Structure 1
Amino acid sequence: MDLKGAIELLETGDQDCALTALQSFNSQMSHCFTFENEDGQEREHLGELVLGFLNGDLQPSCQVACLETIRILSRDKKCLGPFITCSAMSTLARYAGIAVGCTSTEDQREQGTKQGEETCPLSENPDLEVIVEALKTICNIVLYNETAQVVSAELQLIKGVAERLKQCRDPIWTYEVRFFDLRLTFQLTALRVDVRAQLAKELHGVSLLGNQLDATLDLCWPDSLETARKGCEGVPSEDLPPLSQQQIELSMEILKILFNITFDTQRHKVDEEEAAEYRHLGAILRHCLMSRTESEQLTEEFHSHTINLLGNLPLPCLDVLLMPKVQPNSIEYMGVNMDAVHMLLEFMERRVDRGHKLKETLIPSLNLLTESSRIHRETRKFLRSKVLPPLRDVMNKPEVGNTLRNKLVRLMTHIDTDVKDCAAEFLFVLCKENVSRFIKYTGYGNAAGLLAARGLLRGGRDSGIYSEDEDSETEEYKEFKARINPITGVVEEDRPDPMEGMTEEQKEYEAMKLVQMFDKLSRSSVIQPMQLDMDGNMKELTTDDLHRLTNNPVLQAENLNNSDEDEA
């Protein structure tokens, strides 16, 4: 049935005729995502008629048909007018079971009352198909229209969704209801800063969604900060059955919402109660990190969302990654379980090897490892043993080779500044922010960027607080230490002296000629010469500085000769 035919039957007002027309229209348009040959005004008129039916007394089958029609029509971003009013959004929220208060916002404004705080009660046996169809429709409308986002915030839809999220262990709510509840929550928290803050603070979002993730993964708690899957207590993580597709899809939606509402967590201090919530969440995230799915690609995506969220947690709360007891198959270091840290390291190396969109894919895991190393001694020493083991290869440049150290040193000269800085910062922290050790493992040339930015080109140690221990040196390194070029970080063959055989006057002439070349390049703004100040910071080399260097009879004579050549 075409659009005009459906409109004519709906205008009769007969519910049976409307049901037949809408079912036919929906069947025809279910796989259509464009409406190029249809009149926009007619589509809007159909939407208004359908909304009129929804405000009446309908059978469940007719409710589903009406909501499905609106969902199909809402794919057209240009024809959302009928659906973005307070009245329309209230109607849809009522069918989705997330309406707050039982009167519309417009009615409340007329009555001069505040919006109700109670969620409209659901029947004991809600029609789940109706709820899912309404949620899908709201998701479409909110995603495509800014006005709908504002109206959703005004109607407090997030409160209605949060109320149902509290019932995450109630078997009445199917996977689809839970998924689209979470999808709508993600959209609202991603698009509206006020909703994000409301969920985080007023609705205790971290605790609410942590419980949601706990229920989704079907966890139990052998210890206060140690998780296990129900029925699989004591089973090594590598022997656990893979998570189901539905568990993964729900979990990733939860992780994305949690990322939104914890985005600025590290910018403010958390109290003891909040820290306890974050540690509880961190223990669940550790379980996520150690879990797998049936698909390697899906596992990678799941772990990526987990790592993104771990990066938002307050740094002191990351100690939960090290808290599980050491099991027979665990990776142990200094008496601590390093399974999670080792998993993070492997994930990071895979991203380095892939080399694709490093800023988006690599930086979160690299930053997480850096900050964990900075604050936890055991983590730093373990990572150093893996990334910067005692130096034995002094014949190849630090950036040459296939070890993780080689790969990270190569990133220190990456074209993307953020990637370059993150790689350098990670290695610098593993070196306990000791300049000489940093240069030893990376070469002065590779290290110069970070050292210049911190004013450490003259050596010393940055402000990091680390234990004082001796740097172990291998026999190979001690043997060739005197011959290692600090710039390249490698033993180089002796080269002939280019000034051998020159008189002192010739040497001085060549030196002044070089200064003159720098002066010309500086005057034409091709380069900006720099020099080290007394504090080891780089500063601009001014013209006066160059003139002091060029105040030499030999160079003055050369300048005069060049002036004559220019005039000629």
Structure 2
Amino acid sequence: MDAKEHTYTNVTIEALKLLFNLIFNSTNVQEILLKTSCLQCLIERIKNYSDDIPYEIMLFDTRIVFLITALNIATRQIIKTELNGDKCLVKLLENITSREEKSHIIKEGNVILLCEMLKALFNLYMNSDNTTEDVKNDLVLTLRRLLLSKCEKEDDFHSNIANLLMVMPYDCYSVMIPLSKEKHKQIYQNKDMSAIYVLLKFLDRRLDNKNDLIGNLAPVVTTLIRMVKAERLIRKYTRLQILPPLRDVMHRPEEGTTLRAKLCKLLTSPVVEVRDLVAEFLFILCKENVARMVKYTGYGNAAGMFANKGLLGSSRKKLTYSSESEDSETEEYLKHKEQINPVTGCFEHPKPNPLEGMSEEQKEYEALQLVGLVDKLTREGVVHPCRIGDDGRPKPIEHVLELQEELPKQQYTRQDSDSD
């Protein structure tokens, strides 16, 4: 590179940095940009990158695309529809991925560049459904290759991949599980589940991070929900990883370090957005079967979701899932089935009857005392007793004695088939 070319390159890089800062700090610049040819020239340069294009040029070009599409929503449609900017970014992503695969590990610098591209594409594809199926299938295939690549700064990389997968159409997820004749651990029914396995390992790591639960967990859980909804084999494989045949019946579902335990802990989280997402994810893995959800998570953990969805009554609608069995009840589960408390979801030793040895008069006295205490707590607003309405949701009662009228209907029964 001669001195003149080197000077031009340095000037270009500094100009890009300045433009990036102006866009970031000024709403006027964000709006004026649409009245210039800046975006058109930017996308045109990205389309015509040569093999020796400086790294910083690519980095700041891509960062500007990400920033302007994040701060000015109107630019998304212009870049995507009028300038075909998404297609050139997808092509660039494919080219870099192909080059990096030869070196066996993606270096930190290229991880940063790829992350900027993934973020820009996320903005362009968010709430967008007018892109051709071939382009999105190619993109999902590239994302799969990136998931399976060795790289530095792995957590950030996988986070951005999961974010972009979240806005892909349902019918693209089949690309994530290609047919394979190889024999390795992640082959399931002749499909290569390696990419799904990587996403589940990423979820496992994120579950260990207690900071910013929504930001850390919502994207990857949402992505997995979409995948298990879209592809039956992804759901079955994911269920085997998270809810394998139940053998440990001596501990509560939320106890331990397994994926199942970590997710069950979040079913009672005060962070409502995460709690509801996790509940939805586990419920789909259970084929939206209440009895199976109780079996794997415990009624106490899942009660909130059942109430929100109106699943506490006996008239809930049956949903259609494949009837093929996914597992059978284990010997451990069958051996202790009658002693498993459905509320806690684990084995409990028989407890002595607290009413044993009492006369009928003493039992009646204790019952009246209990009614009086509950009534007092209700009047003082400490608790609010409910009964289950016809829609399967809790309904407030006016007096505690109303509970007695429909007591038989309120009992939890294993009326749902527990077969898989």
TM-score range, shorter chain: 0.7 to 0.9
Structure possessing the higher radius of gyration over alpha carbons: 1
Aligned to 1:283: 141
Separation in structure 1 between the aligned mates of residue 267 and residue 83 of structure 2, nearest angstrom? 43
Given the alignment of the two structures, is residue 253 of structure 1 paired with residue 116 of structure 2, yes or no? Answer: yes
Match of 1:21 in 2: none
Aligned to 1:178: 58
**Alpha-carbon spacing, 1:167–1:348, altered in 2? closer, same or farther (3 Å):** same
2:91 corresponds in structure 1 to 211
Letter in 1 for 2:127: D
Q: Write the mapping of 1:52-67 to structure 2, written as runs, cut at 5 A.
A: none
Instruction: Give 1:427 deviation, angstroms.
Output: 1.6
Report the Cα distance in structure 2 between the residues aligned to 1:206 and 1:187, rounded to whole angstroms. 14
Aligned residues of 2:299 and 2:344 also touching (Cα < 8 A): yes
Q: Does the 8 Å CA contact 2:166/2:223 hold for their aligned counterparts?
A: yes
Map 1:494-513; keep pairs closer than 5 Å.
494-513=350-369
- 1:433-448 pair list within 5 angstroms: 433-448=288-303
Decide whether the 8 Å contact of 2:313 with 2:389 is kept in 1.
no
Structure 2 vs 1, CA of residues 288 and 453 (structure 1 numbering), >3 Å: closer, same or farther? same
Matched, 1:375 2:230: yes
Deviation at residue 415 of structure 1 after TM alignment: 2.4
CA contact (8 A) 2:34 2:75 kept: yes
Match of 1:476 among 332, 336, 350: 332
Matched, 1:424 2:287: no
Alpha-carbon displacement from aligned partner over 1:79-135 (angstroms, at most 9, x marks no partner)? xxxxxxxxxxxxxxxxxxxxxxxxxxxxxxxxxxxxxxxxxxxxx999222221211
- Supply the distance in 2 between the matched residues of 1:400 and 1:549 (Cα, whole angstroms): 33
Partner Cα separation in structure 2 for residue 304 and residue 410 of structure 1: 22
Q: How far is the alpha carbon of 1:252 from its aligned partner?
A: 1.0
2:392 aligns with one of 522, 529, 536: 536
Partner residue, 1:516 = 372
The root-mean-square deviation of aligned C-alpha atoms, in Å, is 2.6
1:167 aligned onto 2:167:
no
Deviations 1:342-394 (A, max 9, x none): 11111111111233322211222222222211221111111122211111111
**Match status 1:355 vs 2:235:** no
TM-score (norm 1): 0.66
Q: Which residue of 2 aligns with 1:399?
A: 254
Shift of 1:401: 2.1
2:8 is matched with which residue?
127
When residues 283 and 482 of structure 1 are mapped into structure 2, their CA distance, relative to the original with a 3 A threshold, is same
State the match for 2:308 in structure 1.
453
In the alignment, what sits opposite 1:146?
27
**Aligned AA for 2:70?**
A
TM-score by length of 2: 0.88
Alignment gaps of 5+ in structure 1: 1-59, 62-123, 220-227, 233-239, 552-568
Alpha-carbon distance, 1:527 to partner? 2.5
Contact 2:315/2:392, CA 8 A, preserved across alignment: no
Percent of aligned positions with the same letter in both sequences? 38
The amino acid across from 1:274 in the alignment is T
| Aligned 8 A contact 1:398 1:443 in 2 | yes
The partner residue of 1:243 within 84, 103, 106 is 106
* Relative contact order higher in (CA < 8 Å, ≥ 6 apart): 2
- Displacement of 1:509 after TM fit? 3.3
SS at match of 1:531: strand
Q: 1:429 to 1:548 in 2, by over 3 A?
A: closer
Partners of 2:204 and 2:315 in 1: CA distance: 30
Deviates more, 1:492-501 or 1:513-522: 513-522
Distance of aligned partners of 1:549 and 1:358 in 2 relative to their CA distance in 1, 3 Å threshold: closer
CA contact (8 A) 2:147 2:158 kept: yes
